[in-house]
Amino acid sequence: MSAAADVAARATAGFRQRYGGEPAGRWAAPGRVNLIGEHTDYNDGFVLPFALPLRTVVAAAVADDGRWSVWSELDDEPVEFGPAEADEPGRVDGWAAYVAGVVWALRAAGHTVPGARLAIASDVPVGSGLSSSAAIEAAVLAALVELGGLDLPADRWPRLAQRAENDYVGAPTGIMDQSAVIRGRPGHALFLDCRTEAVEQIPFDLGAAGLAVLVIDSRAPHRHADGEYAARRKSCERAAKALGVAALRDVATGDLEAALARLDDTETRRRVRHVVTEDQRVLDTVELLRAGRIRDIGPLLTASHASMRDDFEITVPEIDTAVEAALAAGAYGARMTGGGFGGCVLALVDADAADAVAAAVAAAYADRGFTAPGTRTVLPAGGTTRLD
Ligand code: ADP
Ligand code: MG
């Protein structure tokens, strides 16, 4: 059985076992990885994520009592809640908050959400930066929209799922994750302008080019990631203010040196330089991909990593080791992806060299005494869909 069929079968089996009977349908949403554009989202800039062939599947059916019951294979017991709990952010906590948050966001937008029984299985690793959170939100959203026959076109789903995560769960994320997992398309990356929320599908057909992306889970222990993230955001906001722009996205690449000269501390200058050059690297990557020059984006990926390491200062030894080892083993480019201080590295490789690059990274890790990394080879996959 393929991995995709397996996770769907687990969702169905979970449904039968918990609730009895058959689900009315199954809905799937993928994880995502950001190809390039890090810490640009809250600076009104550009990102370029793509959906992964790893999915969260929800098997679901309407419940006539108007309440919600949700089971995940990550937990033993189902969680139950009704409209009163759904209408008050915080009342449902833990993992089920991601589900209650979707119900809340739909109801807050004026929709009549049917009660439902939901069973969830997933291949998206939880908490490693591949956006299992957006995957569960999107799969649940798709299920509830269809079970209720709600009039909600898919281009409005990302905003709604983001509200669930921001306002019900209480996690301050941008709109990238939800956009990527909802709108992803096989063989494409999603170019997203975080200011206008305009999206464009950019050809990124790795398979046809004999290429693949190796995703390396650094397994690095999270080190103060939340506080450091908040500090970076604050530093960017302060810099934008000092420069008299709405956001760092408004500093043109050609004006960067002049802008830096107007800032008085070297740390802030480095932060600004990362954001402005990273936006430009996203635009340059998009241009190369439009021209079908996938291999040529390698140096941009690697430059993005150097900028995160030296200017934004958000990498850790495990991450830098993985990038260096992947490059030494022949990757066209490699970079940390995600907010930093742990999470994943991605490397652009020839498909038939992926195993050798993965082995080289594992060997470098062993040399340094780090916990062994997780590695998987991926191609850009499709977004949120109904399975059957
Ligand atoms: P990431 O999105 O990078 O995987 P987050 O911390 O944003 O990490 O989201 C992870 C959280 O999302 C989990 O701790 C859990 O609460 C919830 N979650 C994700 N997938 C599932 C799932 N299949 N079942 C239950 N909860 C899930
Ligand atoms: Mg998340």
Which residues 6+ apart lie within 8 Å of 32 measured at CB?
A: 49, 50, 51, 52, 130, 131, 134, 176, 177, 180, 181, 184
Tell me, what's the pLDDT at 114? Answer: 98
Residue 122 CB–ligand 1 contact under 6 Å: yes
Report CA(180)–ligand 1 centroid distance (Å). Answer: 16
CA separation for the pair 368, 97 (Å, rounded):
39
Q: Which is the catalytic residue, given 123, 177, 217, 311? A: 177
Tell me, what's the pLDDT at 2? Answer: 73
Q: Is 196 annotated as a binding residue?
A: no
Tell me, what's the pLDDT at 174? Answer: 87
Best residue among 7, 34, 98, 124 to mutate for probing ligand 1's pocket (most ligand atoms within 8 Å of CB) is 98
Q: Tell me the pLDDT of the chain (388 aa) as tens digits.
A: 577 789 999 999 999 999 999 999 999 999 999 999 999 999 999 999 999 999 999 999 999 999 999 999 999 899 999 999 999 999 999 999 999 999 999 999 999 999 999 999 999 999 888 999 999 999 999 999 999 999 999 999 999 999 999 999 999 888 999 999 999 999 999 999 999 999 999 999 999 999 999 999 999 987 777 889 999 999 999 999 999 999 999 999 999 999 999 999 999 999 999 999 999 999 999 999 999 999 999 999 999 999 999 999 999 999 999 999 999 999 999 999 999 999 999 999 999 999 999 999 999 999 999 999 999 999 999 999 999 8
The residue whose CA has the least distance to atom 9 of ligand 1 is 133
Q: Is 132 annotated as a binding residue?
A: yes
Q: List alpha helices for 24-109, DSSP H.
A: 83-86, 97-108
Q: Is 127 annotated as a binding residue?
A: yes
CA separation for the pair 187, 206 (Å, rounded):
7
Q: Which ligand does the CA of 130 lie closest to?
A: 1
Tell me, what's the pLDDT at 19? Answer: 97
Show the CA angle centred on residue 345, arms to residues 326 and 137, nearest 5°.
155
DSSP 124: S
Best residue among 58, 124, 132 to mutate for probing ligand 1's pocket (most ligand atoms within 8 Å of CB) is 132
Contact between residue 338 and residue 378 where contact means Cβ atoms under 8 Å apart? no
CA separation for the pair 277, 294 (Å, rounded):
20
Say what the pTM is: 0.96
Tell me, what's the pLDDT at 3? Answer: 76
Report CA(250)–ligand 1 centroid distance (Å). Answer: 34
CA separation for the pair 206, 70 (Å, rounded):
37
CA separation for the pair 31, 184 (Å, rounded):
10
Q: Is 133 annotated as a binding residue?
A: yes
Name the residues around ion ligand 2, CB cutoff 5 A.
Answer: 131, 133
Q: Is 307 annotated as a binding residue?
A: no
Tell me, what's the pLDDT at 222? Answer: 74
* Tokens linked to 223: 């080190």
Residue 72 CB–ligand 1 contact under 6 Å: yes
The residue whose CA has the least distance to atom 3 of ligand 1 is 129
Report CA(122)–ligand 1 centroid distance (Å). Answer: 10
Catalytic residue check, 177:
yes
Distances (CA, A) of 169 to 32, 113, 179, 199: 20, 19, 18, 26
Tally of CA atoms within 13 A in the half-sphere of 350 that contains its CB: 5
The residue whose CA has the least distance to atom 23 of ligand 1 is 122
Tell me, what's the pLDDT at 225? Answer: 78
Phi, psi of 217, rounded to the nearest 5 degrees: -80, 115
Report CA(259)–ligand 1 centroid distance (Å). Answer: 39
Q: DSSP for 197-246, please give it.
A: --EEEEE--TGGGTEEEEEEE--PPP-SHHHHHHHHHHHHHHHHHHHT-S
Q: Is 41 annotated as a binding residue?
A: yes
Amino acid (one-letter) located at 271: R
The residue whose CA has the least distance to atom 18 of ligand 1 is 133
Report CA(263)–ligand 1 centroid distance (Å). Answer: 39
Find how far residue 38's CA is from the centre of its chain.
Answer: 11
Best residue among 55, 58, 136 to mutate for probing ligand 1's pocket (most ligand atoms within 8 Å of CB) is 136
Longest dimension (CA), the chain: 68
Report CA(96)–ligand 1 centroid distance (Å). Answer: 10
Contact between residue 296 and residue 288 where contact means Cβ atoms under 8 Å apart? yes
